[in-house]
Structures are given as structure tokens and as C-alpha cells.
């Protein structure tokens, strides 16, 4: 079974343990399936059922039903009968509910951790430039929701560059890690204007990855330690098709996470984040600590006033901000434009001058 099919099994096992049937809507929401009623899942369900039969395990997929029903619909019974032959569904469901699923460790919810009690995932990008691209983008809302449901704030995502796109020397290699938040929005909010224009200009990327999750910190692996994703993370990479890894992401097990911890990395700036970044090269295990605080001043800060005294001012722009920025109203709703600076004029004098403009 691939990574998607294992996630389906894990969801159904969680339901079976509670002696509860599952609906297609519940399953689709849990795994981030694009169709709300689970259309297109049948092929995966048949693969799962054949695997369970080969392993001598109860027919788990028989507890997946349409909303309001107790037994699978006729179209589902077609693949069930194809795999199991004529079967008493009530007996089959009872065997699922009575089985000790905790004895099958591979179907238990993944809970491997790394320092800071963080989960770590794998996905692919076309490059690695957090200073201009401060998010992870998903192609639709269900995929993003599925990731957020399983990945708490602070989850790390290892990034490998796809083998067909991106800088030649990076292709197929794990080049960095991102720390994710639960702040969501349109991708345009989390990437620089230049990157947005470039993305929309290219036909292959136009309109993609619109459903974004903000990144809060980033680390780049030093080039001398870039390794192919197959070599560094063979289990995670082989758990799903590369398109699935790029679209959904997959969790990394504890053993492979340890390999990442030994990599030498340097923290790099993230677009829209203002934390201090230390340019020290160190193992990821050490780098995952908090960012250093701002270094306190050891001497008084004095500015000579050759042109006279300066005055601090803070101004808020009032009016049609959307028109001023040339952006849709919904994008800037609830936001303000604030200007902070020094002036040789007292605030009241400066304000009166501005009002005369």
C-alpha cells in the first residue's frame, strides 16, 4: 500500500476501535480528498481490501458507508464481492469491530518526534528561497485542511527539490527545512511581489498552490551535505508517488528524522518574519533551539544634532487603502498603513503642513 492508502487504513482503524462506522465525507475530510463525497476512492479501497485479505485481517473497508446508512452501497459491494466473494456484511463488520487493531503497529497513528516534540514531514519544492517564499502552498482547501489537522504549529517540513524543476544542482536533493504555523491565507500574502509576478507569468505555475500555510523559520542545509532524497529519506520517499508527496506531504519516521538532525544547517530569513537570524553553521539538532534574543546595547546610543533636534512621529493613513495599494478590498480588510519616522518639525507643525498639501 502507498502512503494515501495507509492513511485511509489508519482513519478506519480509529473508527473501528470506537466500534463506529465511517462515512465517505468523514474519510475525505480526514485525508484531504478533493471530492467531498469520496468519489474516486474506490480503486484505493479495493487495494486496501486485497491487502487485508492477504494478511488475514478483517475487511476494514466494510465499515465505510454512505451518510445515514449502516452497510456499504451496491457500488461498494461490487468491489467487496470481487475481492471476498459473497459475504455477510453484518458478520464482516462485527469482525472488524471485535478485532484488536492495536496489535497491528503499522496502522497506529504516527507519533515519532524530534527535539522540541515536533513532527517532521517531507514535501517537494521547485527550489528553496524562504526569504522570498515564506509559506507552503496546497492546490486546494481539503489538502491544506488535512495537513493542518495532523501537523500542529511548529511542525517541521523537510524540502527536497523536484527532479524536473529547480536549480540543476539542487534537483532531487534535500536542501532545507521549514517550520510551519497554523496561519493560513492566499499564497500572495506570503511571497514577495517579484516571486508572485514570476509565478503568475509562468504557465506551469500560474494559479497553483493558492492555499498557503505561513512559515515562521527556515534552515538551509549546507551544500556540501546535500543528499538525494532516496539516500537520506528512503522510507518516506518510497511511501508515496512524488506527486502525492508534493501535493500532500508525508510524515518522516523517527529513524530517518535522526539522519536529518545530524545535518549541518544555517538559519536563513523568512519572508514577512522579523526575528533575528544567526548565520552560524551547526547541526540541525542544535539549530532547532529558539532564535537568539536581540543583543543588548553596551553603550549609550547618541546621535549628534547638527541640523537641530529630531522628533519621532507615527502616522496612520486614513482613506481608501485598497485604491492606494491597487489591491482588492478583501485582501486588506482590517489592515492599516502606518508610517513611523523622525522629523525636524514638531508633530503638530508637521501635521498642519501635511494638511495644507
Q: Is residue 32 part of a domain?
A: yes
- Are 229 and 148 members of one domain? yes
Please check whether residue 347 lies inside any domain of the structure.
yes
- Give how many domains the chain has, as a whole number: 3
Say which CATH number the domain at 259 has: 3.10.590
- For residue 296, the model assigns a pLDDT of 46
Q: Please indicate, yes or no, whether residues 156 and 246 belong to a single structural domain of this protein.
A: yes
C-alpha 273/C-alpha 292 separation (Å) is 14
For residue 159, CA distances in Å to 48, 92, 173, 237 come to 29, 42, 8, 12
Q: Report the pLDDT value the prediction gives residue 352, as an integer from 0 to 100.
A: 45
- Residue 208 in domain: yes
pLDDT at residue 291, as a whole number: 47
Tell me: do 143 and 71 sit in the same domain. no
Asked if 283 and 324 sit in the same domain, the reply is no
- Claim: this prediction has a pTM higher than 0.85: no
Flag whether 80 is in a domain: yes
Helix (H, G, I), strand (E, B) or coil at 47: helix
Q: Per-block average pLDDT, block size 10, for the chain (357 residues)? A: 84 89 85 76 91 93 92 92 92 94 73 64 96 96 93 94 94 97 96 93 92 96 96 95 94 89 92 84 77 47 52 79 72 80 56 44
Neighbours of 54 (CB within 10 A): 8
Q: What does the longest C-alpha to C-alpha distance in the chain come to? A: 95
Residue 156's contacts (CB-CB under 8 Å, 6 or more residues apart) are 114, 118, 119, 120, 121, 177, 178, 179, 180, 288
Q: Are residues 156 and 83 in the same domain?
A: no
**Distance from C-alpha of 271 to C-alpha of 157, rounded to nearest angstrom:** 17
Domain that holds residue 34: 3-107
Do 200 and 103 fall within a single domain? no
The verdict on residue 345 lying in a domain is yes
Adjacent-strand bridge partners of 297: none
Do 184 and 264 fall into the same domain? yes
Q: Look up residue 128 and give its three cell numbers.
A: 528553496
102 and 138 share a domain? no
Amino acid at each position: 500500500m502507498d502512503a494515501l492508502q495507509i492513511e485511509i487504513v489508519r482513519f478506519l482503524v480509529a473508527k473501528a476501535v470506537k466500534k463506529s462506522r465511517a462515512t465517505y465525507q468523514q474519510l475525505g475530510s480526514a485525508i484531504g480528498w478533493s471530492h467531498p463525497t469520496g468519489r474516486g476512492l474506490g480503486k484505493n479501497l479495493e487495494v486496501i481490501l486485497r491487502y487485508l485479505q492477504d494478511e488475514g485481517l478483517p475487511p476494514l473497508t466494510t465499515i465505510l458507508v454512505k451518510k445515514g446508512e449502516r452497510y456499504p452501497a451496491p457500488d461498494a459491494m461490487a468491489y467487496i464481492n470481487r475481492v471476498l466473494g459473497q459475504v455477510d456484511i453484518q458478520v464482516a463488520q462485527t469482525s472488524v469491530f471485535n478485532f484488536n487493531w492495536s496489535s497491528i503497529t503499522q496502522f497506529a497513528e504516527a507519533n515519532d518526534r524530534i527535539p522540541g516534540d515536533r513532527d517532521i514531514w517531507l514535501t517537494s519544492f521547485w527550489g528553496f528561497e524562504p526569504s522570498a517564499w515564506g509559506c507552503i502552498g496546497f492546490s486546494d482547501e481539503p489538502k491544506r485542511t488535512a495537513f493542518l489537522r495532523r501537523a500542529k504549529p511548529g511542525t517541521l517540513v523537510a524540502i527536497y527539490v523536484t527532479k524536473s524543476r529547480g536549480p540543476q544542482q539542487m534537483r532531487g536533493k534535500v536542501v532545507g527545512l521549514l517550520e510551519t504555523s497554523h496561519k493560513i491565507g492566499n499564497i500572495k500574502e506570503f511571497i514577495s511581489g517579484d516571486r508572485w509576478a514570476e509565478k503568475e507569468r509562468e504557465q506551469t505555475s500560474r494559479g497553483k498552490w493558492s492555499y498557503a500555510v505561513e512559515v515562521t523559520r527556515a534552515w538551509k542545509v549546507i551544500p556540501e551535505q546535500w543528499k538525494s532524497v532516496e539516500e537520506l529519506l528512503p522510507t518516506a520517499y518510497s511511501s508515496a508517488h512524488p506527486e502525492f508527496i508534493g501535493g500532500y506531504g508525508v510524515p518522516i519516521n523517527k529513524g530517518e528524522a535522526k539522519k536529518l538532525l545530524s545535518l549541518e544547517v544555517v538559519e536563513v530569513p523568512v519572508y514577512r518574519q522579523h526575528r533575528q537570524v544567526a548565520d552560524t553553521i551547526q547541526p540541525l539538532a542544535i539549530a532547532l533551539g529558539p532564535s537568539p534574543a536581540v543583543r543588548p546595547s553596551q553603550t549609550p546610543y547618541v546621535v549628534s544634532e547638527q541640523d537641530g533636534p529630531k522628533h519621532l512621529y507615527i502616522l496612520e493613513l486614513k482613506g481608501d487603502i485598497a485604491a492606494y495599494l491597487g489591491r482588492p478590498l478583501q485582501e486588506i480588510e482590517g489592515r492599516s498603513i502606518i508610517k513611523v519616522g523622525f522629523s525636524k518639525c514638531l508633530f503638530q507643525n508637521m501635521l498642519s503642513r501635511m494638511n495644507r498639501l
